Structure 1
Amino acid sequence: MAYGRNKRKATKAALTRFENYFQTIKSNRNLSQTDLVELKMRAQRADQLLEDFNAAQLKIAATETDIDFDEHDSESEQFENKFYRITSEASKFLIDQMQPQVLTPNVETNLASNSNDDLANIRLPPINLPTFDGSYDQWLFFRDTFNSLIHSNFKLTPAKKCHYLRLSLKGVAAETISSLEISDANYDVAWNILNERFENKQILVSNHVTAIFNLPSLSRESGRGLRVILDGLQKHMGALTVLKMPTEHWDALICHIVTGKFDNVTRRAWDSKTFIEELPTYKELIDFLKDRCRILESFENSCFRNASNKIERPRQSHSNFHKNTSQSFVATNSNKKCTFCQKEHLIYTCPQFLQISATEKLNNAKQMKLCINCLSIGHATKNCRSSGCRKCGIFHHTLLHFNRTDSGTVQTNNNNTSTSSYFNSTETDLKDVATTSLSTHVMHTPLIYAPCSLVVNEKPNSNTVLLSTAIIKVFNTTDKSHLCRVLLDSGSQSNFNSERLCNLLQLPIENIKHSITGISQKIETINSRVFAKVQSNFSNFEANISCLVLKSITGNIPAISFDSSLLHIPKNIALADPDFSSAKPIDLQLGADIFWELIHIG
């Protein structure tokens, strides 16, 4: 009679010991292959416990006459429930640990052989081994991935695991276990060394917190920039959560840090959200960033498509074709330093030079090795292309003209020749020039002719060439217009935008690599591009254009201001640039791709 009860007690104790062992194995994150094999053997042995228990129960029922069958049945039910619960958990745990299949160094995952024929023929792409170079911020990802693919795979021998581990390590991490040979005994040693070396919670937390503080700050609105902030924030906050940091209590701190990285437009959009009763939460910040990124990326893609539709690539011969290369030829005379007094003005406007006689002017010009015809340096007089003296037509500058009297004697110009008297003498010439050359500044003529150069003389022989300029509307990312002074250049294959205008409009900048060729075949590399919408200041014409970004496009145009009233332009003509005679900067240059559309519209 005692034998049956002792057998039942021993069986129940054996099941309890198996349960305690399984719970210990289950809580261990770094299981070895030996641990899994031992668990499997114990589980197989535990399968016999139910039979042993039932045999003991039958023995008790057969030998004992005063048995309480209700209690006897309850004992059997409790044991069976406990048995099936423990063994099913152990079986599932073993199946989960056996799931990864590693067949090659690239870790291929194949479908089970008993799957249907269609799925069995599908070959999945290889899963590459994770790599680790010793960076603390990559340790958690490497540890979890390697543990799932290699470390917990009981089908691999420790020697193979050690080989895969060596293949996965680079740099400092590889040096950590470089002294260990590949063997069954050394795998656990190597894995434990890596865990002790890089499982440093203090350093890991510090690195991820520092990375959040070091997220990039935006100077202008950019979908790409906000996406970098969003992805980085989610990555590091997720890692800190895995490290069991109380990130759920960091909402106010994270919101303060991240919103400090916003540009002015994004910051205003964030501040416009009302948080009256409660402080903003981390989830609300993430939702805001996702919506903002979606809107900006959609806008930037739309601008890119519209600009691409407008851009017509010029045809080039095969021998002269260069990828991402365009040409632009815009030149202005920006050298205003006087060669006579070394002050900041041109020599033919120099008060000291104008005060001396024509003979002294000639002598000084020769001493300074100036061109006698244009009073410039850098070329010989015989190679000068200027037209010559405006008074006699001889090949010398007007300031060097000698007046001849009827008696044949030579007299010099009046030293006090004023600007107004000079303009009076040349006013007729200017009228003739204006009638054929000012059409590039007129917007409402029936037809706008090709641009011409207009030479305006403010002081004797002070040449200023007028290039085609206009005042147009340029729109920022919020569709607000700004007036901008542009240069119309039919000789340029690209449009150009100044950094000053980009900062003013806060346009999103795209990083590119583009070469442009200018005067004397000088090549310059452009690294930035923007897309913008422009509109006429007089009509409804508008276009989306792509512009290369330059620090500055050119100097002031025109180089010197002059009095436009001397041209006697009819007052009923609306000019594209009403202040075309004032020396002002250029922030946008429109090239040939849109220039002829403007000419066609008129």
Structure 2
Amino acid sequence: MSAISRALPNFKKLGQAKMTPAVTRQRLNTLKETFTKCQELDVQLLAADEKVKATHAYFTQNYFLTCEDCYNEAADFMAELLDSHESRELSSAAHEVSGINNSFRATSHLPRINLPTFDGSFEKWESFRDKFKSMICDDHNLTNVDRMHYLCSCVKGSASNALDHLAVTNNNFTIAWNILVSRYDNKRRLITVHLQSLVNLPSIASETSNDLRSLRDQTNKALQALSNLGCATEHWDDLLVFLVSQKLDKSTRKAWELKLGDTVEYPRYSELDRFLEARIRAFDAIAPAISKDKSPTTSKGKTIASHAASNAPFLCPLCKANHLLYQCSTFLKQTPIQRFDFIKTQKRCSNCFSVKHSVKDCTNSRSCKQCNKRHHTLLHFDIPAQPLATEQPSTSTTANLESLSAVASHLITKTVAPNSHILLATARVRVYSSHTCFVNARALLDQGSAATFITESLAQRLRLKKINRSAFITGISEMQSVVRYAAQITITPADRDGPAYSTIALILRSLTKYVPNQIQTARNWSHLKGLKFADDDPMSSDPIDLIIGADLFGLLIINGVRKGAPNEPTAQNTTLGWILSGPTASFSANHSTIEFAHHGVVLETLERDLCRFWEVPRQILRNPEEHQCDEHFRNHTLTYV
């Protein structure tokens, strides 16, 4: 019994460091064994004579009960200590398991989650707040310094300005986050933003699934956000149905009203939402069938003839009188160039003057009586021409005949391989007007053209001052067009202000349809590495707004040529940068396609030659006989010009 009474004091003398689970468990087992023996001895003592029980101190002072109290106190202390040790072990094991799971998640090959960004817009705050908290704030493996770094990288604009004064430290993350919460977690402001989204729903012009889906999604998004903010949106059915139905297109609005039928009660928003959902599903199912029924854009068009007869009078498009165009006296008094301009402006056939088709679709068997080509005799030029068949129509109907000339620009079609690719020399340049304003444009460098050309759209963007300059644009097979205007331009490289080159450029509505094929192996051309190209994307499909002719081409060329394999383009150094031209793949002769080639010359017309003849100075007549002939001619000859 004395061992039991000393068990607890002796155990406490060990100290916390030595009270390990094993020691505690061993002391508790020893204590239980000792108390069991005491119980057995107490049973034997209880069988003694009654006189002994009445006089012996063991019974009178209740030694066994005192021993039992000591045992219970010691056993309870040791049991609680063991329980605390087991709880710590379980917590440590759980932490280890969590660490294993986190390690597994960190090393698993899941898609990378991009951090949300916030630019200070109230409508984006709630989404940013919840995403950032779940990804950064609730990650216990991150320190506040890490969280501060992430927060600074996610905020932009006005939200970033609010945190500029805070350094990236451990204590400043809580301050920075509280600044954003106090500024943007404004319930009244957030409710206002979402209500504005409901009021400003987009109107639908046509019944398409995309438009209906956008309207439905914006409405439901605003409603869910308002509901999360505590607004009683479940009582807004009347207002919501009115707002949404007013934004529907006519067909959908009609279908909605027909669906309501004879209902006199105002519908709930859930009914309208289900109606929109069903209609969107129907449009999505119908759309593929419609696209399959449509003929492809590359298929050949079919011609359907329709004939009708009426007694409508012939109305001349020029003088508005009752006669045909070729019978019009006003039309007959015009020069072939003026007639040609009028026919082209009216978009009529240059062979029969019909407005219903172009010259390539004309079925009239007649042709020019002077050159036997496919144009009307009234449109015959002194230089063989083929009006309205060129790629570059003129831009005006007035001309200055004193400066009439012809410029040839050719387009040729020949047999080349379908996998053959040719690059023409292109560059990105600045085109300046006389007002010192400039536009970046893509130029084609053509040393075979005697003149520089720009498009009408580029001239309008630069607000160029036009100069009257009549010229013929002649191409392969004597295809011809007329230019009426030119303009003074200045060209510089696209990335700097110099060197600058000035010239007179002829203005055309369009220049070329050159579009290079995209080559995937272009990056492997080793002889072009390290070069700064004049056109940063030589294979781009961007339109050509400028053709630089031989009047400037020679000024642009400088020393430097890079050549590769026979099927690789050649690089030429210019003041604009390196230009590429030549083949980009091997040739074959199995199929045919169109290849673009440019060449230009300037040809004086007969009218210009006659003008120059009459402009010969009189000072060249030196001897008296020639002077006498000249006087006789002037006195006795009446000249008609």
**Superposition TM-score, scaled by structure 1 size:** 0.37
**Superposition TM-score, scaled by structure 2 size:** 0.35
**Which has the higher Rg, Structure 1 or Structure 2?**
2
